[in-house]
Structure 1
Amino acid sequence: MPYTAHDTSTVLPALPALSAQAERLIELGVHGIAGLSADEIRTFAAEADGEGALLAVHHEIAPASALAPLLRRDGKPGFVVVDMPDVDEFTPCAVELPDAPLYVVTGVDRGDHMGNWSPEEALPALTKDDRTPLLLTEGIHWVLQEPAVLERNRCFMTIGSRLRKTNGSLDARTPAIWISNGTGRDGRERLNAPKVGWCWWNNRHTWLGFASTTGRRS
């Protein structure tokens, strides 16, 4: 299955300027979660070269478990599925991150055209096109800045984050961000809420693309 970057039938909203993204993170209290000052985030955004890029906070200081509840859809907060208590142990796998608390993610794509691919099929196609999959925390940052990128039947996986077991092998779960149907252990009160969950490495889902980037820089 050949991969063509940005081959999607949906035009996604453009990301705000980095300065506006900084203010959004400050408004949500992400700087406090990360142990940064508001001025640090504002200064980085003012000095960074990143038109059209996503402002991200390093996963080690702003983990997914702390960011997910900040998501909102239909007035409902985001959540992590109950069978993913180890969500913060899903760390970068074959992804080079800047050694800095703040960085920008360029050329973000939701990968709609890769719906009904498995993670096992998607990863080599992304790599061949010189793209890398988003981390889970980067995907959450994207939805925090542009909630409209999370749509029913057009959600996405973030397979740049993987859990490595004590024996060195990779856990078969792969993280994703989608919208709850309010069924099962989610609870009816979470209908339409943003949801951080997982899918199996070899499974396909028609409604999940594979979010990716052209690069990261501090």
Structure 2
Amino acid sequence: MTDAIAEFDRQLDHLVALGHPALAGTTETAFRDGLAPLREVIATRPDAAVERGEDHIPFVLVPTGFPREEAMSRTALGNRQGFTVLEPGELTTFRPIEGITVPVGSGYLLFDIDTGTEFLNVTPQDALVKITADGRSPLTIDEGIALITVRPDMLRKNKCFSLLASRCGDKRVPAVWISDRRPKLGWCWNGNPHTWLGSAHAGERVGA
């Protein structure tokens, strides 16, 4: 489990270096202390060190309580900063869909993540049916931002992904993709397929 714990520490250090404690309105010490119990969770999970192909990530640390537009601005591809076309007030209207329970607390772990390239050129509505039938969960906006924050290499040209677990009551589905060589948080229609846009999914959410 040494590699998995080292990866947890790397993700946490990266969030601190990007200024997430201040973004959360707290100190670095309090930020680290709030997420420290999750490090113990990693130590109990043999699957935290298992990778299954280029679309797969064993786990991602998902801190909570951040303004989404600010968190998105801290993502990057190389030195090119991420952005969103959604207004701050608009972003707050996207909430987890029915059946998605997000752990409470300072943050949680998302396990067994797949960026969903099998759903390239599949409509989000059809992808959601298959994902849930397989006993898996789509990702929320916050989880998608967390993923590309600590693993920007998973946001790849022509292999970007929708975030089906966050909706605001209309037919829009949030997604992250590359625009002008920058990470972009935008949206696409629920019934429209895109050859360059899959649907990310995960196995489990675990809190402290």
Aligned pair partner of 1:155 in 155, 160, 182:
160
CA–CA separation in structure 2 for the residues paired with 1:73 and 1:141: 14
Aligned pair partner of 2:40 in 16, 22, 47:
47
**Number of aligned residue pairs:** 187
Give secondary structure in 1 for the equivalent of 2:175. Answer: strand
CA shift for structure 1 position 74: 3.8
CA–CA separation in structure 1 for the residues paired with 2:193 and 2:105: 35
CA change 1:36–1:105 in 2 (3 A) is: farther
Identity of aligned residues (%): 32
Give secondary structure in 1 for the equivalent of 2:164. Answer: coil
2:129 counterpart residue number: 124
CA–CA separation in structure 1 for the residues paired with 2:148 and 2:26: 21
CA–CA separation in structure 2 for the residues paired with 1:159 and 1:47: 29
> Per residue, is there more strand in 1 or in 2?
2
Which segments of 5 or more consecutive residues in structure 1 lack a partner in the other structure? 1-13, 164-169, 181-190
Corresponding position: 1:27 with 2:27: no
- CA-based RMSD of the aligned residues comes to 2.0
Residue 123 of structure 1 aligns with an amino acid whose one-letter code is L
> Per residue, is there more helix in 1 or in 2?
2
Corresponding position: 1:106 with 2:96: no
CA shift for structure 1 position 15: 10
Aligned pair partner of 1:205 in 194, 197, 200:
194
Does the CA-based 8 Å contact 2:62-2:108 persist in structure 1? yes
Does the CA-based 8 Å contact 1:115-1:207 persist in structure 2? yes
CA shift for structure 1 position 17: 1.5
CA–CA separation in structure 2 for the residues paired with 1:29 and 1:162: 28
Does the CA-based 8 Å contact 2:113-2:203 persist in structure 1? yes
CA–CA separation in structure 2 for the residues paired with 1:15 and 1:64: 27
Report 1:1-218 matches (<5 A): 17-42=7-32, 43-49=36-42, 51=48, 52-58=58-64, 61-81=65-85, 86-94=90-98, 95-163=100-168, 170-180=169-179, 191-218=180-207
Encode CA deviations 1:67-101: one digit per residue, 9 max, x unaligned. Answer: 11011124111111157861222111121111222
CA change 1:156–1:75 in 2 (3 A) is: same
Taking structure 1 as the reference length, the TM-score comes to 0.79
Residue 201 of structure 2 aligns with an amino acid whose one-letter code is S
CA–CA separation in structure 2 for the residues paired with 1:208 and 1:109: 13
CA shift for structure 1 position 64: 1.7
Does the CA-based 8 Å contact 1:84-1:197 persist in structure 2? no
CA shift for structure 1 position 38: 2.5
CA shift for structure 1 position 119: 1.1
Give secondary structure in 2 for the equivalent of 1:156. Answer: strand
Give secondary structure in 2 for the equivalent of 1:54. Answer: strand
Residue 71 of structure 1 aligns with an amino acid whose one-letter code is T
